[in-house]
Structure 1
């Protein structure tokens, strides 16, 4: 079979790109699997106690943590569009003033929405005085899709998302750079049936096979085209 240079180079280029993209998706899947193993390891390890010493996000993310202090109830934020069992509701995010100094945001749990009036918050209780809480350190209090800057302007209590640094500047609170996703129960009527993190490993493997399938298809097409061109070529004269 004879190969024409330009078509052959184009097919090789397509194969090189799609094979590389397939390997990239495979590497992403392996990275996510390693992260998943770390999360499981940290969640089953003894809880870290938060004290006065500053802690960076990278040193505490996904770890179980415990802290003693009191909730700052007048700075609460309700994160909208957080459904639970197909029921609309909010996440209750509240600053927690540590007994040893500093403040950390706590995602206290889920609260159902009042279906007749969006801005009416269902009753729940907040512990008074110093309490000890436990949970998982997260980079944020969960994120939902939003257009522009979200809906905080219309109602300061109800927002779509909450950026820690921006909220620290807004309130003047010395917030730690992470959020505690609370797991301990204090009888406040909030739901803490947290969804398991979905890192999308299956999607990465799916994309990997798709890219490699495209590489195989490009190779098959190139061989087929070369074979057809060979059949149509005039026979050499004697």
Structure 2
């Protein structure tokens, strides 16, 4: 391990700490992507289990709007009561099928007297330059039985809206706007009304089950965390090899210089000293990949003698026999 003592230098300790910091960041990002994947898996499970489930009815259904159980998102509920169309508002900037439009929100009073928020569906932006819808289908009058899917309320958006419109399904803002005791934990996306109106907004499309790229992203970040240490180890290995090559090059240059200078530094070569000095300077100025030519070539270990070795041994044996015969 003497060839790796450089790892204790400040430079290489800094590299190691940098690799540790990069790995920590990668692990954090991998965990963040894994959390997003877990959330998406949970949402997909809710859609699969709840979307076509048997609707909740009665007080159990109405209570979900004031005290929503998150595991019941997308679950259908069936309510009977009356719409309050005078409080109708439009949620602006809602895309569907490649077009921008509005969602129609209307409060609904159940037979038990509770008031809930229902999203009757989507309508497109009209042809007028002001961006308003051409027509908003009116809700059925009188007693109506509606079937809707539960959705949690949306956060407030710091963005204004014209009169009669709202920027998001902020249930707290709707409660204040309408001055009605509406439930502020959930609202319902209507997909059936009985009696059915002649014209109704388009119901919300069925959500897609999408796994997303979060799991693969997470695994990539974890792989990056390991690769930082692999890269550090590879760089350390290359540094150790380069140091060994430099040592071998220095020994080879020292051996060559000993052929031209004695221990006192006196030139003992046969040729022109200036030419020898120039050759040494040229060798020292060579790029690193060419300096490898000056290193002594390592001797390859042989498991058995080659045919040249066997021939030399045979010739040596014959020479010894000839010498012995001459003596006799």
Q: Which residue does 1:92 correspond to in 2?
A: 104
Deviations 1:116-152 (A, max 9, x none): 1423541413100110000110013x689x6xx2222
Number of equivalenced pairs = 231
- TM-superposed CA distance for 1:18, in Å, is 1.1
Displacement over 3 Å in runs of 4+: 52-55, 234-238
Q: Which residue does 1:110 correspond to in 2?
A: 122
Contact 1:51–1:67 (Cα < 8 Å) also in 2: no
Change (3 A) 1:99 1:41: same
- TM-superposed CA distance for 1:61, in Å, is 3.0
SS at match of 2:95: coil
Structure 2, unaligned runs of 5 or more: 252-328
Q: Which residue does 2:79 correspond to in 1?
A: 67
Q: 2:159 aligns with which of 145, 150, 162?
A: 150
1:125 and 1:210 mapped to 2: Cα distance?
Answer: 52
Q: Which residue does 1:211 correspond to in 2?
A: 221
- TM-superposed CA distance for 1:32, in Å, is 2.4
Match runs of 1:131-210 below 5 Å: 131-140=144-153, 149-152=158-161, 155-176=162-183, 177-185=185-193, 186-187=196-197, 188-196=199-207, 201-210=211-220
Q: Which residue does 2:297 correspond to in 1?
A: none
Q: CA RMSD in A?
A: 2.8
- TM-superposed CA distance for 1:215, in Å, is 1.9
Matched, 1:40 2:51: no
Q: 1:9 aligns with which of 3, 6, 17?
A: 17
1:106 and 1:193 mapped to 2: Cα distance?
Answer: 12
Larger Rg: 2
SS at match of 1:175: coil
SS at match of 1:95: strand
Change (3 A) 1:157 1:29: same
Matched, 1:126 2:135: no
TM-score w.r.t. length of structure 2: 0.62
2:227 and 2:236 mapped to 1: Cα distance?
Answer: 14
Change (3 A) 1:38 1:61: closer
Structure 1, unaligned runs of 5 or more: none
2:13 and 2:135 mapped to 1: Cα distance?
Answer: 71
User: With CA pairs under 8 Å and 6+ residues apart, which has the higher RCO, 1 or 2?
Assistant: 1
Q: 2:234 aligns with which of 214, 224, 230?
A: 224
